[in-house]
Chains A and B, each alone.
Chain A
Amino acid sequence: MIQSNEQWKLNVGLAEMLKGGVIMDVVNVEQALIAEKAGACAVMALERVPSDIRKEGGVARMSPVSIIRDIMGAVSIPVMAKARIGHFTEARILEALGVDYIDESEVLTPADEEHHINKKDFKTPFVCGARNLGEALRRIAEGACMIRTKGEAGSGNIVEAVRHIRTIIKEMRQLTVLGKEELVHEAKLLGAPLDLVEWVAENGKLPVPNFSAGGIATPADAALVMQLGAEAVFVGSGIFKSADPEARAKAIVKAATYYKDPVKLLEASEDLGMAMPGLDISKLPEGELMQTRGW
């Protein structure tokens, strides 16, 4: 069911306000201020960026409340924070803290291997990751007001983000040419509610904004996913694990606006120093993939 109530309007509305922007992962006030100064449209308050979570292993949980609160106090832009998949108590704590968006995120260790959070129960909006249309529509059915393609967080490798945005766009396009009677079967194959499948078939897009995440390390990466159909980007490790975070943050902000203009992208790509080191995802053991968390 697509919600049409006022809360839904406000929460999808805030996602609309973030379009064309860059949401940056930050782990402390200093980084949050750099992100805001560079032109981030929001920050994601974290204890560790995904590449460190990957390196250090163990269980990754919601960030300590004090880190999030300090960041909320330091910047005037929206502050998001992550809760573990299915961990509705972490989400309730984030809601009580007053964060502007909750990311039910595969970057953290899942708390529930069968169920995501029933996000319709919350006043605070949620963003969720997805690799394909079925997953995106299941999350929307649960109440997510924004979808971000998952990519592979902390990899510095854009290949999975590209795969996921292309998959979702292609699957949506395919629905638009089907007859109404064919959509029931499609809904069954996608594992998604029929009314949402019908909505996508009619409109050719998701009923909520569709952003991209997981592997964006350069202005060119950001522009690539925007050209493929993403409406804004999340950058995790890509900024603060690079040689010159401030310059790179500014450059990615420019790229998210001028993603269709090669001359401006060239300007944005000058003098950035080294990007974060990247990983060859095909060499990662299956168990280390973050994108396969969530269902």
Chain B
Amino acid sequence: MKKRIGVLALQGDFEAHVKSFVRAGADAVEVRTASELDCVDGLVIPGGESTTMLKLLHYMDMMEPVRAFAAAKPVFGTCAGAILLAKEVTNPSQESFGVVDLTVQRNAYGRQNDSRVVHIAPDADFLSRTAEGEIEAVFIRAPIIRRVGPGVKVLAGYAGNPVLVEEGNILIATFHPELTKDSRVQSLFLGKI
């Protein structure tokens, strides 16, 4: 049976994530309520505005259900999702799920004019678990991971900062793998299920 991925669809590029996981061979559905979490094997928190998603998570009483999900099953956060999952958020400081031991600085590259596409060489561990080749990393008003805890494994970096990391069941990218055709990051996440 295909693995079933839920993409948190409160706001952001959830549609691009759904398509990218279908391309990677999974089933993918949009999740907007706590009860819909029960039907999925893994959860994606997409790119978008982390402040908007936080408001909606509170409106819908979804903070605790998502935190409980992350304690039991794999969760993948990109960009805003990375911010929401981190233990500590700066610029400005804001609430988060705190399920991965990172300090993340919001909008750390600057505004949209500072957004960029770069080609990065992932670490050997990422390559051995997926396939050879650079990653095309799309950074859009992206955050920077300023601190990683001792239990966090860095899978790729750019300009001296980690951009793809994992801790247990949680996978974090500060860029947007869902906006390119390369499915290796998605495959790595599916491997956790």
Contacts and interface: CB of A to CB of B under 8 A. Distances in A.
Are A and B subunits of one complex? yes
Interface of B: 9-16, 32, 47-49, 51-52, 55-56, 59, 79-80, 91-92, 106-107, 110-113, 115-117, 138, 140-141, 176, 179
A143 to B, nearest CB: 15
A37 B54 CA distance: 10
B14 A100 contact: no
Contacts of A98: 110-113
B12 A17 contact: yes
Interface residues of A, number: 39
A219 interface: no
A10 interface: yes
Interface of A: 6, 9-11, 13-14, 16-21, 36-42, 72, 76-78, 95, 98-101, 123-125, 231, 250, 253-254, 256-258, 261
Contact of A16 (B9, B110, B113, B179): B179
Contacts of A17: 12-13, 47-49, 79-80, 140-141
A166 B71 CA distance: 44
Contact of A42 (B49, B56, B106): B49
A253 B12 CA distance: 13
B47 A253 contact: no
Given A76-B92, A124-B113, A13 B140 contact: yes
Given A254-B59, A257-B56, 7 more contacts: A9-B138, A13-B179, A77-B49, A77-B51, A78-B111, A100-B112, A250-B55
A42 B190 CA distance: 32
Nearest to B112: A100
B115 A14 contact: yes
Given A9-B138, A253-B52, A101 B112 contact: yes
